[in-house]
């Protein structure tokens, strides 16, 4: 069900939501959080789709705030409510304020936040200097950006690090959870007492490559070299090598679904480690709402261990 509301207010939106629930029995039971999405509007449908998919694991109210077009001048608010089949396991409210700078964002969404439930804000296509200082950031327990959108690798991460506050997180960080899990699991069972050196190969503009190297630097406590080579078609991390006292551990991406694992004294394995869609990354971010201090430490301390090989 899609309900269009033109020239409206958040009070009217709320009323309409309650009315729709009573009429259609659209259940609003057990929503676990409010998910705010602040977007410039270009990728609106794509991000709503991803959030809807993530809501299958975390039923939530999704509130999308679409920035007004640059030529919009009459101040006001248009909105759209999506329920039931059009909203996955969530309810979606899209707010389209009009006019320039007349709408105060926190005032716009406050009436639509679920009582007591945590608030998470996602900036899918922009990276505020400091997420926690933005109007929406101030009312959120958790703030998500995607530094890949900036396309400037280590340099971009430095500016993200400057604005870092506990509770911030980055989809570039969730993209490497699979790599990190496999590396940690491999060291769990190998007969290894120390890791002498580590190197990462991949596209240097990709912040995930840098974060992975930074994480290794932080946990191992020594320099990690980043080799800026990746074969065509490999967009992010290409390879990680750990040199240990028991031999070399190597993970190499072969294609979008598989990674080859090579460890001492064992045959090589093909690991199923697919590149993950946006929805799966979001679902991971929403699983734990306490600040991810490991991410914070990698961002603010781990990156100094990263050495570009070229």
Alpha helices in 139-252 (DSSP H): 153-162, 171-174, 177-189, 207-220
In terms of CB distance, is 27 or 42 closer to another protein? 27
Q: In what order do the strands lie in the sheet with 91-98?
A: 2-5, 76-82, 91-98, 60-66, 33-39, 119-123, 142-145, 168-170
In terms of CB distance, is 66 or 244 closer to another protein? 244
List residues near another protein by CB under 8 A.
27, 29-30, 32, 55-59, 89, 174, 177-178, 180-185, 187-189, 191, 194-195, 216, 219-220, 257-258, 261, 263, 266-267, 269-273, 284, 288, 292-294
In terms of CB distance, is 203 or 289 closer to another protein? 289
197 near 234, Cβ under 8 Å? no
CB of residue 52 vs another protein: minimum separation in angstroms?
Answer: 11
Sign of torsion over alpha carbons 98, 144, 45, 110:
negative
CB of residue 180 vs another protein: minimum separation in angstroms?
Answer: 6
CB of residue 176 vs another protein: minimum separation in angstroms?
Answer: 10
Strands 247-253 and 258-262: antiparallel
In terms of CB distance, is 219 or 252 closer to another protein? 219
CB of residue 270 vs another protein: minimum separation in angstroms?
Answer: 7
CA distance 226 to 240: 9
In terms of CB distance, is 100 or 266 closer to another protein? 266
């Amino acid at each position: 069900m899609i309900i269009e509301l033109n020239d409206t207010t958040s009070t009217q939106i709320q009323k309409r939501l309650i009315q729709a629930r009573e009429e259609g029995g659209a259940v609003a039971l057990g929503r676990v959080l409010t998910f705010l999405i602040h977007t410039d509007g270009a990728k609106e449908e794509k991000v709503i789709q991803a959030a809807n998919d993530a809501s299958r694991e975390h039923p939530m109210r999704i509130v999308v705030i679409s920035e007004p077009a640059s030529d919009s001048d009459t101040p006001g608010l248009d909105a759209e409510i999506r329920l039931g089949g059009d909203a996955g396991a969530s309810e979606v409210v899209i707010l389209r304020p009009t006019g320039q700078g007349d709408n105060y964002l926190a005032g716009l969404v406050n009436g639509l936040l679920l009582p007591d439930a945590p608030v998470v804000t996602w900036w899918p296509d922009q990276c505020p200097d400091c997420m926690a200082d933005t109007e929406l950031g101030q009312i959120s327990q958790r703030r998500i950006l995607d530094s890949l959108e900036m396309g400037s690798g280590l340099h971009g991460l430095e500016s993200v690090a400057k604005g870092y506050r506990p509770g911030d997180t980055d989809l570039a960080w969730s993209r490497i959870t699979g790599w990190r899990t496999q590396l940690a699991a491999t060291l769990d069972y190998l007969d290894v007492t120390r890791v002498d050196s580590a190197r990462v190969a991949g596209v240097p503009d990709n912040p995930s490559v840098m974060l992975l190297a930074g994480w290794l630097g932080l946990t191992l406590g020594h320099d990690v070299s980043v080799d800026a080579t990746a074969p065509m078609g490999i967009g992010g991390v290409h390879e990680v090598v750990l040199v240990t006292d028991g031999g070399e551990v190597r993970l190499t991406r072969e294609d979008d679904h598989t990674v080859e694992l090579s460890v001492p004294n064992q045959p090589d394995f093909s690991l199923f480690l697919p590149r993950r869609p946006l929805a799966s990354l979001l679902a991971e971010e929403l699983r734990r709402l306490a600040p991810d201090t490991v991410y914070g430490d990698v961002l603010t301390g781990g990156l100094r261990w990263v050495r570009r090989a070229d």
